[in-house]
Amino acid sequence: MIVSIASGKGGTGKTTVSASLASVWKKPVLAVDLDVEEPNLHLFLNPEISHQEKIYLEIPVVDESKCTLCRMCSDLCQFQAIKVMGDTLLTFTEMCHGCGGCLAICPEGALSPGQRELGILSQGSSQGKISFLMGSLRVGEAMSPPLMTIVKKRMMKILEKQKADAIIDAPPGVSCPAVCAVMDSDLIILVTEPTPFGFHDFRLAWESFSSMGKPMAVVINRAGLGDNSVYQFCDEKKLPILASIPYDRNIAQAYSKGQVVAGLSPELEHKFSDLARALQGYDREAPYA
Amino acid sequence: MREVLVISGKGGTGKTSLTGAFAHLDREKIICDLDVDAPDLHILLSPKILFEEKFISGNEAVINQDKCQSCGTCAEMCRYEAISFANDQYLVEPLRCEGCKVCVSFCPEEAVEFLPRYCGNWFVSSTRFGTMVHAQLFPGAENSGRLVSLLRQKARNKAKEEGRNLILCDGAPGIGCPVISSLSGTDLAVVVTEPTPSGLHDLMRVAELCSHFKTRVAVIVNKFDLNLEQTSRIQDYCRKNSHELVGNIPHDDIFTRAMVEKKVVTEIRDSNMALMVKQIWEKITGLL
């Protein structure tokens, strides 16, 4: 089973929930940080990293001696990444989406595959029982989905080999990176806080992810803060609230020290064990699907 | 004209609450919400929409089933695995389609149509603190970077029209395309962080991105009293890297209380917080 922890609004507690869930998960589990722009899960799970590799996107490299300036490549490119300027074919590699169209269409064999570094993929394990995988975008790289896609492929391989479940810490937002993170999961957990901002973005996330037809459930963080709109909405849409973490300065302080919230007290550990059990009980035919 | 961008790297550190308060404190500006993916500033400012336009950007491939001969070339060539074969049909999954046109160009039957993508709407509005330019990308939509560029251009036009000398922008979390689009040509990036391992880690990444674009960085530590040790670590990092420290804000639910009332924190009477935020804004304007 693959569970994604998403939110819409940032800072609602995705990483808190992901780290806590991974540490109480009963079956073999792979914790995956797909918030490649700002990955934080490793700061709480402190994994030993056993493998790191740079990840690249394929981009075109021009052999000017073969280019006849026919412009078939630049006419095809939708991203202004390859253009004829004067009598030279220029590439703007940071704009390239790696579709491979220019390489395939060039009739002269004047383009060959080159690379742009997207970031780093890291693998390891935490506390001897949690397998760990993360992507970290190169600072300056604009596109996160290509790196996320490669991390997800690695995730699938590991899951097959280890017969494990995956917990994905997703990026905030509701557009392409967030959708890319959750689209291959079996179940989406939306972590929200009961504030107007939290509710507004939670609702956007729910709208965005609804089209995928996957079961969704809710974890409320900082319960006691704000107002009732999240609760009313969940009630209306029959979205189950599987756990509620209280608004508590002690929890915020523990987080600020890099502690896993599930380890703070027996009550909190129970809360996350119950949440893990509820999630493990889900299958695709669950009533909320 | 000056452009100030409020960002954070990590989400949920207080960008929007502070941007709203700054908007209240400065009269001579245009407000711009560049978090087009999950915008929240309008919740505090209750904008009245004066102008609305569709944001159409990029294309998506759609297979015309009457022409398709099921040769599979499109699925083979698509690097995004956006085309699948089910029930004797090749179909494009819109969420995975990048709009690259490869399938359109290589289909031997010319069976793939390439339709413009309607990605969201953008607005010019009036608020109690002045004119605001903002947008809402449709859930799951792409091209947020292009929409950010468009909003910035519209905000500049508005500023010229109204004779304003400042554009105050609320940015997106992260360091990816919308943030990169927000940074070019910005005079000052105000990074709101918090004294947590994630806050510092994400501050370092977003500040590095700002340096990459040669944008000056000013840092606000929100909830600084949650962990004084982490706060001083953040301050050390800022001093070492010549980022301006413009203020510390204590952990206080007054921001949430103001938000519930659809107000900004400086509109809450007789609060120390209002004074503190005002001093921070004065420091920021002093850097411009």
Residue A255 distance to chain B (closest CA, Å): 7
Handedness of CA B173, B176, B177, B182 (dihedral sign): positive
Write the pLDDT tens digit of every residue in B134-182.
999 998 888 789 999 999 999 999 999 999 999 999 999 999 999 999 9
Residue A288 pLDDT: 44
Put simply, whether B207 touches A (Cβ < 8 Å) is no
- Check whether A173 has a pLDDT greater than 70: yes
Helices (DSSP H) in B63-132: which residue ranges?
A: 73-77, 102-106
Given a contact cutoff of 8 angstroms between Cβ atoms, the answer to whether A216 and A206 are in contact is: yes
Q: What's chain B's average pLDDT? A: 96
Put simply, whether A257 touches B (Cβ < 8 Å) is yes
Put simply, whether A230 touches B (Cβ < 8 Å) is no
Cβ separation B58–A256 shorter than 8 A: no
Given a contact cutoff of 8 angstroms between Cβ atoms, the answer to whether B203 and B243 are in contact is: no
- Check whether A12 has a pLDDT greater than 60: yes
The full set of domain ranges for chain A reads 2-55+121-280, 58-117
Residue A285 pLDDT: 46
Handedness of CA A244, A248, A254, A258 (dihedral sign): positive
Write the pLDDT tens digit of every residue in A57-93.
999 999 999 999 999 999 999 999 999 999 999 999 9
Sorted by where each starts, the structural domains of chain B and their CATH numbers stand as 2-46+128-286 (3.40.50.300), 57-118 (3.30.70.20)
Q: What does the pLDDT average to over B111-125?
A: 97
Put simply, whether B215 touches A (Cβ < 8 Å) is no
Give the single-character DSSP code of B147: H
Same CATH topology for A2-55+121-280 and A58-117?
no
Q: Kindly state the tokens that stand for A7.
A: 């939110």
Mutate to test the interface with A, among B142, B231, B256 (most CBs of A within 10 A): B256
Residue A283 pLDDT: 56
Q: Residue B51 is which amino acid?
A: F
Residue B141 pLDDT: 85
How far CA A257 is from CA of B10, B103, B207, B230, B252, in Å, comes to: 16, 50, 22, 8, 19
Given a contact cutoff of 8 angstroms between Cβ atoms, the answer to whether B159 and B92 are in contact is: no
Residues 14-33 of B with CB under 8 A from A: 16
Residue A170, exposed/middle/buried by CB under 10 A (0-12, 13-18, 19+)? buried
For residue A197, give the nearest of B16, B106, B223 by CB distance. B16
Q: Which residues of B touch A141 (CB under 8 A)?
A: 176
Q: How far apart are CA B15 and CA B21, in angstroms?
A: 10
Q: Which residues of A touch B11 (CB under 8 A)?
A: 9-12, 38, 172
Q: Hey, what CATH class is A58-117 in?
A: alpha beta
CB atoms within 10 A of CB B161: 10
Residues 45-74 of A with CB under 8 A from B: none
Residues 259-288 of A with CB under 8 A from B: none
Confidence class of residue A287 from pLDDT cuts 50, 70 and 90? very low
Q: How far apart are CA A33 and CA A171, in angstroms?
A: 9
Residue B139 pLDDT: 83
Residue A289 pLDDT: 36
The contacts of residue A232 (CB under 8 Å, 6+ apart) are none
ipTM rounded to 2 decimals = 0.95
Given a contact cutoff of 8 angstroms between Cβ atoms, the answer to whether A193 and A221 are in contact is: yes
Write the pLDDT tens digit of every residue in A216-257.
999 999 999 999 999 999 999 999 999 999 999 999 999 999
* Nearest one of B62, B36, B153 to B116, comparing CA atoms: B62
Put simply, whether B80 touches A (Cβ < 8 Å) is yes
Write the pLDDT tens digit of every residue in A103-161.
999 999 999 999 999 999 999 999 889 999 999 999 999 999 999 999 999 999 999 99
Kindly write down the DSSP assignment for every residue of chain A, as one continuous string: -EEEEE-BSTTSSHHHHHHHHHHH-SS-EEEEE---SS--HHHHH-PEEEEEEEEEEEEEEE-TTT-----HHHHH-SSS-EEEETTEEEE-GGG-----HHHHH-TT--EEEEEEEEEEEEEEEETTTEEEEEEEEPTT----HHHHHHHHHHHHHHHHHHT-EEEEE--SBSSHHHHHHHTT-SEEEEEE-SSHHHHHHHHHHHHHHHTTT--EEEEEEEETBS-SHHHHHHHHTT--EEEEEE--HHHHHHHHTT--GGGS-HHHHHHHHHHHHHHHT--TT-TT-
Mutate to test the interface with B, among A12, A34, A169, A175 (most CBs of B within 10 A): A175
Closest residue in chain A to residue B182, using alpha carbons only = A142
Write the pLDDT tens digit of every residue in A201-217.
999 999 999 989 999 99
- Check whether B109 has a pLDDT greater than 50: yes
Q: Which residues of A touch B105 (CB under 8 A)?
A: 76, 101, 105
Give the single-character DSSP code of B9: S
Strand partners, A61: A112
Write the pLDDT tens digit of every residue in B246-262.
999 999 999 999 999 99
Give the single-character DSSP code of B172: -
Residues 132-161 of A with CB under 8 A from B: 137, 139-144, 149
Cβ separation A171–B172 shorter than 8 A: no
Residue A189 pLDDT: 98
What length is written for chain A? 289
pTM of the model: 0.96
- Check whether B264 has a pLDDT greater than 60: yes
Q: Which CATH superfamily is domain A2-55+121-280 in?
A: P-loop containing nucleotide triphosphate hydrolases (3.40.50.300)
Write the pLDDT tens digit of every residue in B187-239.
999 999 999 999 999 999 999 999 999 999 999 999 999 999 999 999 999 99
Give the single-character DSSP code of B277: H
Q: How far apart are CA B178 and CA A97, in angstroms?
A: 16
